[in-house]
Structure 1
């Protein structure tokens, strides 16, 4: 995976790694290329849409529609175009790790991958809690007593986490079916809420007033903080590139899949938010179960009670698919770091039968399970959900600074005929990387601001800053250990 310097001073393209399989023989193995165009489109849909953000957006009222388009223009568009170009330049396994390593050296690549990997640990229990909360709707009032039962959320999360880990260890060709099913289940609830919202609007009128005044976003500081959470919702289109050597014809397949999925993602967020607001006024939307609440209330108004368990099942399945897809993608980061020996070599091992990075996958699941328990320590289910989401926003956006920085810096390298350039070439690529970098920076800055109800705001900021610093320091220490192992091996 290490680049070498060419006589011209420009580093040569990264080679595809030959990954030693477990076993005593000298046989070499690589991951299987199992992801086709449709698989990739569905993968981007299931990792690019999170239905919980639709309810969060709806709580802000009609102005959320404008904010969605603003986030799409200033973050998603630069991100998607950057991923397309960088993936066509360097389609190797590891994606973001490979790009930042090439742009900023070994340490830059490792620390970026480390931050991205750790930032996703709180994501798994958060998305599984959301799935569990929607499962309760399948039995109506009979399961309501579980809605504040921490043990229910923990048991559900651990069981489902075990299942999705097993499927991905067996192989991406098996695990992808859960990803694909989750992607289909992701947009069906949006169709349901739009259809029923339209019926309710026709019969009773809209629950929310849509006019020029309500569509204008507030410029109050606390509302600007809210905008950052919607920007967070557009992350994820970089994930499939982590599995570059498991995609069929990566350079051709990935760009078109990302473009197609982007249309679906944007449609679901914008139209889904409108659907919720047709059914419920903003002040009645909860960010934990809001989408299901909108469906349930609308179903009651128009007499479609039968659709409540159907919709709740779709939402739960979509989140299980998302958890499985992110588990598969993010685990490739310690895998390629293990190949490069920045982490112990065991992380770079493939399963002897299924040719999957099983050590990295199992480690990811174990760490996520720890966060499942930590998230419920001394707090309510609602409080745990908020804590888990807030833990992920800041560290999740730090790697995007690396990504946009790599996009900017790697423009100095010549683009061969196989590279899919940003429309407009280098000048537009530089502009887009600056726009994306600025948006990510602003989102990070706003995420540091504590909520208005915080009793100790200075302490809250100190915890966030200190926690981020500790995270980077741990990553730097692991990198130093890897360098030390490499020196000893070469001595």
Structure 2
């Protein structure tokens, strides 16, 4: 897209919205210029099926990387974790996402919600936390891909060959993301089918070898930090797809349905190989490390399935990276449309209409982080994500109280006491996960939080001095609607 076309899919600024009559909150999404409408008609909007698989890869992408729950707690705790955790965490997060994403659809996603609830500083800090957690999270996937490939080609397990493999993987996958969101969505569908099919074969061949008593065992030396961090990492990020809401066809109808379908698919993807592997094998729990599902397939079925699972892991890592990169890149575009970042970040490719500046920024950060250990990556991403989720939950509750008449196409059917109870357990778990973090994660997360806070004030300085160009269309819309509100009152 040419630089003069700016997609404005964000609601008006909080400062303007706060002064408007409450009845206007129901229709306070920004008006779009004729050029923008033409662009949106010409572009390919995401439909239900591609969105389902994008959400699936935002959250899960298959069972790869979940093996450490068995190592940390044994089969029983691992199974209970993937059965119970969705009810105390995933479902509440998905419900919050569905309500807010349909009420305030736009590429800013959770940034819009925090800005609307608490003001621009909160919106900016939310954007920093979520973007950095997403960039850190996506860094795990090229590394995980390299780990699986190294099982077949040991020479790339360390040193310069590993660095070259991770770098080449990141560059190639980032270019694929550049080719368009629709391409990424349909690619995700194919990657899901190819990566999950070997686990259906594994489950079928494991049936004669299952012993129910094996599912009831618990590890003697339990590592709760590893257990909960791994569980949390494999079942969070349900709200990440909200940053793509401006690219979705009929988001008010499509988004809730896609969340439900992706949730069911995710549960099957985790429980099927977990039940098969732990029920059919007696192996030391210490062997259940990242990549062990390939060995499980080899021991139960044969080496041919082991190699198939390894290929599936590589395909899954591709889908995970693509989905995460898409949400991060469009988040930066949404923040630029809101005026939190310079207008430069809202530039789109002329050929594919993708936010190429956001893609490059996210890719470089992910590449730099990808050479850390997987456990450090997971812990840091979880901590920053937890901070953002606590703010997101607070925004959800406050908007219910502050703007009860805001039009919510999907509405969580609970009153305020019920909503508080629904959010209480996830909030407690978020605090618990943060408390388990090591000193290294505290230092990293604290430093990045200070960076995010300083970034907001630096951007405000740049606006006031005119150092950089920022989008002001959202503020102008707010001023227009405020004047309309005053006229209606008169």
Q: Which TM-score applies when normalising by structure 2?
A: 0.83
Give yes or no for contact 2:52–2:261 (8 Å, CA) kept in 1.
Answer: yes
Change (3 A) 1:350 1:145: closer
Residue number in structure 2 paired with 1:309? 307
Q: Is 1:101 aligned with 2:115?
A: yes
Aligned-residue RMSD, C-alpha: 2.8
Provide, for residues 358-404 of structure 1, a one-character-per-residue CA deviation record: whole Å limited to 9, x for no partner: 111111111212223x52xxxxxxxx233322332211221111111
Moved more, 413-422 or 110-119: 413-422
Number of the residue aligned with 2:339: 341
Q: Separation in 1 of the partners of 2:23 and 2:160?
A: 56
Is residue 46 of structure 1 aligned with residue 57 of structure 2? yes
Q: What SS does the aligned partner of 1:470 have?
A: helix
User: Distance between the aligned counterparts of 2:214 and 2:411, measured in 1?
Assistant: 43
Q: 2: distance between equivalents of 1:387 and 1:7?
A: 46
Residues 305-356 of structure 1 show CA distances to partners (whole Å, capped at 9, x for unaligned) of 3222222211210111110110011112221222233222211112233221
Give the corresponding residue for 1:389: 378
How far residue 42 of structure 1 moved from its aligned partner, in angstroms, is: 1.1
Distance apart, 1:288 and its partner CA: 2.1
How far, CA to CA, are the matches of 1:393 and 1:153 in structure 2? 25
User: 1:381 aligns to what?
Assistant: none
Segment of structure 1 superposing worse, 420-429 or 249-258? 420-429
Dislocated runs of 4+, deviation >6 Å: none
1:33-432 equivalent positions in 2, closer than 5 A: 33-50=44-61, 51-59=63-71, 60-61=73-74, 62-137=76-151, 139=152, 143-146=153-156, 148-201=157-210, 209-211=214-216, 214=217, 222-223=223-224, 226-280=227-281, 281-299=283-301, 304-372=302-370, 374-375=371-372, 384-412=373-401, 413-415=403-405, 418-432=408-422
Q: 1:282 to 1:432 in 2, by over 3 A?
A: farther
Deviations 1:66-86 (A, max 9, x none): 122332121111101111111
TM-score (norm 1): 0.83
What secondary structure, in the 3-state scheme, does the structure 2 residue paired with 1:419 have?
A: coil
Quickly say closer, same or farther: Cα 1:268–1:175, change in 2 above 3 A: closer
Residues 145 and 164 of structure 1: is their aligned pair in 2 closer, same or farther, counting only changes over 3 Å? closer
In the alignment, the residues of structure 1 paired with residue 424 and residue 305 of structure 2 have an alpha-carbon distance, to the nearest angstrom, of: 46
Whether the aligned pair in 2 keeps the contact of 1:295 and 1:308 (CA below 8 Å) is yes
Unaligned stretches of 5+ in structure 1?
376-383, 451-460
Distance 1:324 1:366, change over 3 A: same
CA–CA distance in structure 2, aligned partners of residues 371 and 228 of structure 1? 18
Ranges in structure 2 where 5+ consecutive residues have no aligned partner: 1-9, 471-490
Q: Which residue of 1 aligns with 2:445?
A: 468
After the TM superposition, which of the residue ranges 325-334 and 348-357 deviates more from structure 2? Answer: 348-357
Q: 1:151 and 1:298, CA in 2 relative to 1: closer, same or farther beyond 3 A? A: farther
User: Which residue of 2 is the match for residue 8 of structure 1?
Assistant: 21
Deviation of residue 244 (structure 1)?
0.5
CA distance in 2, matches of 1:163, 1:224: 34
Distance 1:321 1:19, change over 3 A: farther
CA contact (8 A) 1:90 1:99 kept: yes
Moved more, 276-285 or 479-488: 276-285
Partner of 1:457: none
Distance 1:326 1:470 in 2: 23
Render the CA deviation track for 1:221-251: whole Å, top value 9, x for unaligned.
8436623431232112112111101111100
What residue is the counterpart of 1:454 in the other structure?
Answer: none
> Aligned equivalents of 1:102 and 1:76: distance in 2?
24
- 1:479 CA drift (Å): 0.9
Residue 481 (structure 2) aligns with: none
Give the whole-Å Cα distance in 2 for the aligned partners of 1:221 and 1:305.
31
In 2, the alpha carbon distance for the partners of 1:225 and 1:317 equals: 25
* Equivalent residues, number: 447
Q: 2:435 aligns with which of 442, 445, 448?
A: 445
Distance 1:114-1:14 versus aligned 2 partners, 3 A rule:
farther
> Offset of 1:427 from its aligned partner?
3.6
The structure-2 alpha-carbon separation of the partners of 1:149 and 1:210, relative to structure 1 and needing over 3 Å to count, comes to same
Check conservation: 2:294, 2:307, Cα contact below 8 A. no
